[in-house]
Structure 1
């Protein structure tokens, strides 16, 4: 209704302007118009051929258009395309020149700038404008065509690459010394495995028991039972994925379909994501306040899950959730406060209870479980919402969360702890008084102690360099769709199908290899192999038209870096001191998120200057920084120094 009214007003103003222009016509104006007509006639010939088409996608993680600034000429087109995004978006020029329509998770819209439409245009995603999701299109005038000289015969050497984002090129020879140096470096540390801790870091008595430990469980607590640890952590990671998928996909899509305004959706999403942006604040809280009689982390997890279920249930009491977005936004804020609390508490629990030799393996299961949870909350509930309705989707989610809650409810972290508050207390007074004496000054002192070690400080560096090559992620759809003529459907089916499966396999295999050969070794060798694959991708431009080659190298590279990411996550757990596990580990996660943001922000300044092969070579160099940041980290330093 509002958009129609606005369009009507704009149309009226245009008609009024035309009328006034006609009334003010003079001989001088006629001469100017004659000159304009001659100019337009001379360049309209160019409209007979298609101009350049530039694809603009979205970065769903940071809510940005990619690229956010483009330069075109009159006659060129901008093609807004995205598919199966978690959130619905649109692209609307601020003065109404173009409009992709209502917000949608799937957009395929093209606008061609006509002769005379040169200038600078600002456009926005209506629901996310307040979050900075804006873009700029600079349209340059079409030059008057000049007679073209007779073409001269060309050879293959004269042909420039058609696969280019920018026009710059850096010869591969300049990258060779760095990559060769990385090979030499990895070879050097491979000859000094003990010095650089490339083997499993275990005490002698642990080495003898690792093989038999899983079969010789002595109790049912998380500290005693390997199976209990795996079951509990995987269940909790599924519970982390379900709410996020449900909120960002299922519920937002429902509200949009019910006609909720874009501004209100933006407000809802802002409040919903705020607790996740500030979740690092939970770290000192869960480290400071603990009820040791029921475990260090379990009470916080149970509080978080109980809050999630209760808050989610309140939506069932609202007759029409789409009619009161302010109330729903408040509920979402409270709901995500509890989900972020569970996220931090679960990670801290993993730091506390996992044995050094099983961190990599169990983390691979946890990563896979979280992915499955997101699929349940997003794709699963989003698919059946048309059958059971929004309240039916909530009703289905509640029993799932209740079943998951039974796992930590019936488990205990350590022997002697109470399962329920009314059970007999078996914790000694010394242990209880130890926790009661803790305050925030002690927490801060412990955090300073934790980060006083070389390995823990290098963990921050490693977290910050992990995702710098992410600038390549928004480039891939441009390469496949815009240059290699893949259809949008095929690209998204490959990315959301095969590549997702490959990623999950990389998590699982990476965990197994990390347990057998040591997570640090897997990180270094996999990062080197991944950088080599990225380099190969950039140097084999002549093979890019071969679909089998492109899918194969994309899949293998994805698999390798899934192993890298999973083992880095595990390494951060190993160097985290359990006394401040919530605070320290959350700090590493925050640095990893910052690294991803930096990587995405590098897309425009780098991709707009260099061609595709150069972009792959730059990414390969950035990926080798992982090797340098990892090689000096001692996975056992925290345990050996602070936990002795």
Structure 2
């Protein structure tokens, strides 16, 4: 360590950073994932229910859902840029996180001022696309930061807290945004979301990745030694490393599994507001209150138990239970039509599904983090997420054709079929083998970069 860097670290010794403080790590990622959930609560749940309440067709609602989901499939375009370029004095991923937060605020303000949104669907879809783009942008940076600073033995617990926080944010903003939407108007509802994101932006501004770094560009600080070692200096090395790790057998199996699994979840999430409003006669307020409460229960459960269960019993065993539970309960929902008139029955399904959904996401994304090679963490994790979001778009687009050509029973049961395929692929995934393969890649890479040591 150079004397200059050492002076800065000593000066800041009383100011903890993410890399050396477990509580701050958890707090930081809880806040950032909460910020991600704020716009998603309205874009993927509140606005579709509002559109259904106002007579929009399933095809139009699905079109809006596809427009909002599309940017999440473009994340791989920005991920290599984040691995290659950054402002190291502020950290590897933190500058990108702050930029993403700022973009979310501005894009929500743009969405708020779409004129007559129900009769201006093209502009509404464009605005939804822009908000989702910055949500995806911030997500890439946050996930890259998480892989960099969260130790492996804390990743499952961190994923539980992160996903629980996001689910809680979705539920809170769904019910709050829908209430404001009905009591006041669309503009006020979305502006409140922008204000909430603006407050959360203070977290990444005041919490650094590592000691000695700058808080903002005009303050004092220097790049950390670890950040310099992790930072790649060319796109060719990024893509070469990425191709190498992604071509591993278990990387490919996981990618296909997450494509189907996440696509299935977006399918049912987009279908449920249409089903409850159009088929069951609920209002959008009824739907938002019940579904947001169900998501809140799932989110709290995820924060309290999700990571603990994964740590205690393992990722694959718990995912087997979650997938089986989703198949069983959805089959019950689909074929017990005589109970559809019971609010308790539908609400019970929403609660069970959201608990299983949250817990399964904790397991799936903990696996994704564990399967990543740290030197290309943002790019590899984002590639997994890009594939999953292509699945989200693909399966959401199936709602129109399936609902128009089949009964509601078949439309609902289609979700159980999708999850069954993902469950089948899980049986072929060997996580330990993937970790071992990455360790071998790291050794090979280290020896290539240090030929003298390799010669010795």
Superposition TM-score, scaled by structure 1 size? 0.52
Q: For 1:484-633, what aligned pairs fall within 5 Å after superposition?
A: 488=282, 492=287, 496=291, 499-505=294-300, 507-508=302-303, 509-528=305-324, 530-531=326-327, 537=332, 555-556=351-352, 559-597=355-393, 599=395, 601=398, 604=402, 608=406, 618=417, 621-622=420-421, 624-631=423-430
- Tell me by how many angstroms 1:531 deviates: 4.7
- Are the equivalent residues in 2 in contact too, given 1:458–1:633 (CA < 8 A)? no
Deviation at 1:409, TM superposition (A): 0.6
How far does residue 294 in structure 1 lie from its aligned partner after superposition? Answer: 1.1
The CA distance in 2 between the partners of 1:354 and 1:244, in whole Å, is 25
2:91, 2:227 within 8 Å by CA — same for their partners in 1? no
SS in 1 for 2:223: coil
Per the TM alignment, residue 408 of structure 1 is displaced from its structure 2 partner at its CA by 0.6
Query: In the alignment, which residue of structure 2 is the partner of 1:140?
Result: none
Aligned equivalents of 2:377, 2:345: Cα separation in 1: 44
**Partner deviation per Cα, 1:543-567 (whole Å, 9 max, x = no partner):** 9699677866775465335422321
Mark the CA change 1:390 to 1:639 in structure 2 (over 3 Å): closer, same or farther. Answer: same
In structure 2, the CA distance between the partners of 1:552 and 1:515, relative to structure 1 (3 Å rule), is same
Contact residue 261 and residue 422 of structure 2 kept, 8 A: yes
Q: Which one has more relative contact order, counting CA pairs under 8 Å at least 6 apart?
A: 2
**Matching of residue 288 in structure 1 with residue 84 in structure 2:** yes
- Unpaired runs of 5+ residues, structure 2, are 1-13, 54-60, 444-456
Distance 1:328 1:620 in 2: 31
* d(CA) in 2 for partners of 1:496, 1:411: 34
How far residue 282 of structure 1 moved from its aligned partner, in angstroms, is 1.0
Q: Does 1:447 align with 2:246?
A: no
Point out the structure with the larger strand share: 1
Deviations 1:26-58 (A, max 9, x none): xxxxxxxxxxxxxxxxxxxxxxxxxxxxxxxxx
Check 1:426–1:337 CA distance in 2 against 1; reply closer, same or farther (3 A cut).
same
The CA distance in 2 between the partners of 1:554 and 1:395, in whole Å, is 28
Judged with a 3 Å threshold, the aligned counterparts in structure 2 of structure 1 residues 266 and 534 are, in CA distance, closer, same or farther, namely: closer
User: Root-mean-square deviation (CA), in Å?
Assistant: 5.2
Q: Is the 8 A contact 1:576 1:585 kept in 2?
A: yes
How far is 1:597 from its partner? 4.8
Give the equivalent residue in structure 2 for 1:438. Answer: 233
2:35 matched to 1:243? no
Q: Distance in 2 between matches of 1:488 and 1:256?
A: 10
Matches within 5 A, 1:301-450: 301-310=97-106, 336-384=132-180, 393=189, 396-427=192-223, 432=228, 435=231, 438-450=233-245
Question: Counterpart of 2:19 in 1: which secondary structure?
Answer: coil
Query: Relative to structure 1, is the Cα distance of residues 272 and 606 closer, same or farther in structure 2, using a 3 angstrom cutoff?
Result: closer
* Alignment TM-score, normalising by the size of structure 2: 0.70
C-alpha distance 479-516 of structure 1, shift in aligned 2 (>3 A) = same
Partner SS, residue 438 of structure 1: coil
Q: Which has the higher helix share?
A: 2
Change (3 A) 1:505 1:452: same
Q: Structure 1 residues 357, 432: CA separation in 2 closer, same or farther (over 3 Å shift)?
A: closer
Distance 1:643 1:421, change over 3 A: farther
Q: 1:503 Cα shift?
A: 3.3
Once the two structures are TM-superposed, the CA of residue 616 in structure 1 deviates from its matched residue by: 8.9
d(CA) in 2 for partners of 1:619 and 1:255?
26
Q: What is the CA-CA distance between 1:240 and the residue it aligns to? A: 1.6
Report how many aligned residue pairs link the two structures.
416
Instruction: Specify the alignment match of 1:48 in structure 2.
Output: none
Kept after mapping to 1: 8 A contact 2:167/2:298:
no
- In structure 1, what is the Cα distance between the partners aligned to 2:318 and 2:197? 35
Q: 1:463 aligns with which of 246, 250, 258?
A: 258
For 1:494 and 1:332, the matched residues in 2 are separated by: 22
- Distance change >3 Å, CA 481–CA 332, structure 1 → 2: closer
Q: Which of 6, 9, 30 is 1:234 aligned to?
A: 30
CA shift in 2, pair 1:478/1:388, >3 Å: closer
